[in-house]
Amino acid sequence: MDLEHFARSGLPETEKNSLVLVIDSNADSLWLASQILGLCGCSSISTTKGLEALEVVQQKQPNLILSELMLTDIDGIELIKQLRQTAIATPIIAVTTLCQSPYGELAVRAGCNGLIKKPYEVEELVAVAATHLPQVSFPF
């Protein structure tokens, strides 16, 4: 789906923006996810580093975490485990090409709440946001 069409679809703004942390070593993927979330009325914080994400979670307390599993500074499975060890209840969604591999199953066992396969459609990301963030409306 074309982002311009999506932006013109008249999505309602949320009363209080939900904060989504997006973690991906690919800058284009960060940009795309942030744009889609913004169109849904969400605020986002992006980082290419998993270790930085651990700090951001403690400081900003996001409502949703979207994380690639293949990061440059820490293994995505280890990141999920460390996030869960801090006793956060924030939903964590892995956004990865590895959904069908044992790696995807390991992510769920580590505490991930779901998986989105890359490349994803705009509607898939919006559906995940709407599922985990009650303020987000699914327009389709």
For residue 137, name the pLDDT band (cuts at 50, 70, 90).
Answer: low
CATH number for the domain harbouring residue 74? 3.40.50.2300
> d(Cα 95, Cα 47) in Å, to the nearest integer?
14
The answer on pLDDT for 104 being more than 90 is no
Locate 70 and state its tokens. Answer: 């293949």
**Helix, strand, coil: what percent of the chain each, to 5?**
40, 20, 40
> d(Cα 1, Cα 45) in Å, to the nearest integer?
23
**What is the number of structural domains in the chain?**
1
Q: How far, CA to CA in Å, does 18 sit from each of 21, 77, 100?
A: 10, 25, 29
For residue 8, name the pLDDT band (cuts at 50, 70, 90).
Answer: very low
Does residue 12 belong to any structural domain of this protein?
A: no
> d(Cα 94, Cα 13) in Å, to the nearest integer?
25
Range of the domain at 90: 17-132
pLDDT digits (tens, 9 = 90+) for 49-71: 999 999 999 999 999 999 999 99
For residue 139, name the pLDDT band (cuts at 50, 70, 90).
Answer: low
